Every structure is written in structure tokens, then in C-alpha cells.
Amino acid sequence: MDNITELEKRIATTNDAGLIAMLLERLINNFKHCINAIEDGDYEKIKDLNDHSRDILNELIYQFSGKDNISTNIREICIFINKQITEGYIKKDISIFDKCKKVITPLLEGFKELEAIEKPKAVTGITYGKGTLGEYTLEEGKSFKG
């Protein structure tokens, strides 16, 4: 249990909105790395980053596969971003990846706000006497339970 990374803890303790926010954060990081790769002339790295971004976009499309307006709009944004990163790779154009960051950032901010509002799947706290992090589940109408 001591070898759980911070990312694993975050995944285990966040809610659904937090998981989506994590995907969006990773997309934005990929766009930043693509910009750096263009500046460095490392075009193979852009291809790898775009492939990873497409995996994230596919996951988002799957998660928002409903017929409601929000799901439809998020799917359309994902399709738009996919087209943009393809064009950015072909043209080696930094401004396209900047545009992708600007499109995704408001979504990220919204999901971060939802993450803060919704109840987490689990709450992590310090365990007395051990000095290590222990994970506790927060149940409806109850206090922390180990």
C-alpha cells in the first residue's frame, strides 16, 4: 500500500467530474508538449502525443455518449480538437495547439468546479501513529469510517 503513487491516490479518491478533469489536464499538457516538440523539431514526438490525445478524446466521447445537449456538445468539441491536432501535426503549426488549449481550458475549469461540489468517492487522511496516508470512504449520513 505504501507504493501507491499520488496519481493513483487522486484517481482513487476523486469523483467522476474529477476523472474527466484529469483527462482534460492531460490533453492540455499534451498540447504544451506538442508546442515544445515543434520548437525542437521533434516531429515524431508530436505524432506520439497526438496518438495519446486521440485516446483521451475517444474516452471522452465514450463517457459522453448520451443524447443530451451537453454530451452532444462535448462530443463535437472532441471531434473538432481531433481535426485540429491532425492539422497541427501536418502543418507543424504552434498556433493550432494554442487554439486547442484555449478550447479545452474552459471545460477543464468547469469540471474542476464540479469536482469541488460533488462528493468524492473516497476521502484520504492521515492515519495517527503510522504517519502514512490511509484511505477512508465517506458514506452518506455518516462520519469517516475506516
Burial annotation 26-54 (CB, 10 A radius, 16+ → b, else e): ebbebbebbbebbeeeeeeebeebbeebb
Report, as ranges of residue numbers, the positions in the chain whose pLDDT lies below 50: 1-2, 125-146
Cell numbers representing residue 43 in the block: 516531429
Q: Any idea what DSSP says for residue 3?
A: T
What is the reported pLDDT for 11?
82
What is the reported pLDDT for 4?
59
What is the reported pLDDT for 133?
47
How is the chain split among helix, strand and coil, in percent rounded to 5?
70, 5, 25
What is the reported pLDDT for 123?
53
What is the reported pLDDT for 47?
96
Task: Report how far apart, in Å, the C-alpha atoms of 114 and of each of 15, 40, 69, 107 are.
Answer: 9, 37, 18, 11
What is the reported pLDDT for 9?
81
The string of pLDDT tens digits covering residues 51-78 is 999 999 999 999 999 999 999 999 999 9
Walk me through the domains of the chain, giving residue ranges and CATH numbers.
6-118 (1.20.120.340)
What is the reported pLDDT for 32?
98
Q: Any idea what DSSP says for residue 145?
A: B
